[in-house]
């Protein structure tokens, strides 16, 4: 159906020209000031790239553990260290420092900040121990320990939760029945010893 193609103005023109409907009052005004035509999207979404993305990738290649320790917090206002590193490199490059030196300086600053955070955390732990309080959360936790901490309650739960104990008992009963079935099958399938009158 050709009259269904195009925008509202072209469709209405076709309908009026083909005497399918009377000329509406707004058609003349719309022809004088046609609506804005937006360019159509070709279906490809362009990837957004920032100038510092190159240095962010290099940072993660060098400091791969930062992916676990310095996660992006959507509720926080502090940018991740990879972005800070990349911005520092770009800032130094604007000041006239070459790329390798800029990256070395930014890397030294990142490592110094990381050491300072670790030292501050160890001092906070000592103070908390002396006061008899719980230590604050570690700024650089081990990802394995974090996962284990999340799974700890489920590991303990398997010994006390009645639903889980019921499932375990059912599984044990099924396994025992299966083993009995196998043993019964093996006993029936065992070969009878040969009689003396047979040659074999």
The pLDDT tens digits of the residues spanning 62-75 come to 888 777 666 666 66
pLDDT tier for residue 175 given thresholds of 50, 70 and 90: very high
Q: Kindly compute the dihedral angle of the four CA atoms of residues 85, 89, 90, 92, in this order, to the nearest 10 degrees.
A: 130
Q: Helix or strand or coil: residue 74?
A: coil
- Assign 7 a pLDDT band (cuts: 50, 70, 90): confident
Q: What is the rounded average pLDDT of the residues 158-179?
A: 89
111 or 157, greater pLDDT: 111
Instruction: Give dist(CA 42, CA 55) in Å, integer.
Output: 31
What tokens does 25 get? 């009052």
Confidence label for 196 from pLDDT (cuts 50, 70 and 90): low
> What integer pLDDT is reported at residue 36 of this predicted model?
78
- Count, residues in the chain: 200
Residues with Cβ < 8 Å from 52, sequence gap 6 or more? 83, 86, 87, 89, 90
Residues 6+ apart with CB under 8 A from 91: none
- Could you give the dihedral angle defined by the CA atoms of residues 96, 100, 104 and 109, in that order, rounded to the nearest 10 degrees? 40
Structure pTM?
A: 0.49
> Looking at the chain, which runs of residues are DSSP E strands?
none
Model confidence at 173: pLDDT above 80: yes
User: What is the mean predicted confidence (pLDDT) over 12-37?
Assistant: 86
């Amino acid at each position: 159906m050709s009259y269904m193609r195009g925008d509202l103005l072209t469709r209405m023109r076709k309908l009026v020209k083909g005497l399918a409907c009377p000329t509406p009052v707004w058609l003349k005004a719309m022809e004088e000031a046609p609506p804005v035509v937006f360019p159509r999207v070709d279906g490809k979404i362009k990837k957004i790239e920032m100038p510092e993305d190159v240095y962010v990738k290099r940072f993660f290649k060098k400091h791969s553990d930062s992916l676990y320790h310095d996660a992006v917090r959507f509720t926080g206002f502090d940018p991740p260290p990879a972005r800070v590193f990349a911005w520092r490199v770009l800032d130094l490059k604007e000041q006239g420092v070459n790329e390798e030196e800029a990256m070395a300086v930014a890397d030294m600053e990142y490592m110094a900040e990381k050491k300072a955070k670790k030292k501050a955390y160890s001092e906070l732990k000592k103070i908390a121990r002396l006061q008899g309080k719980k230590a604050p959360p570690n700024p650089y936790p081990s990802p394995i320990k974090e996962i284990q901490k999340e799974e700890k309650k489920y590991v303990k739960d398997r010994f006390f939760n009645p639903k889980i104990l019921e499932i375990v008992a059912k599984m044990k009963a099924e396994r025992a029945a299966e083993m009995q079935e196998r043993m019964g099958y093996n006993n029936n399938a065992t070969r009878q010893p040969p009689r003396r009158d047979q040659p074999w």
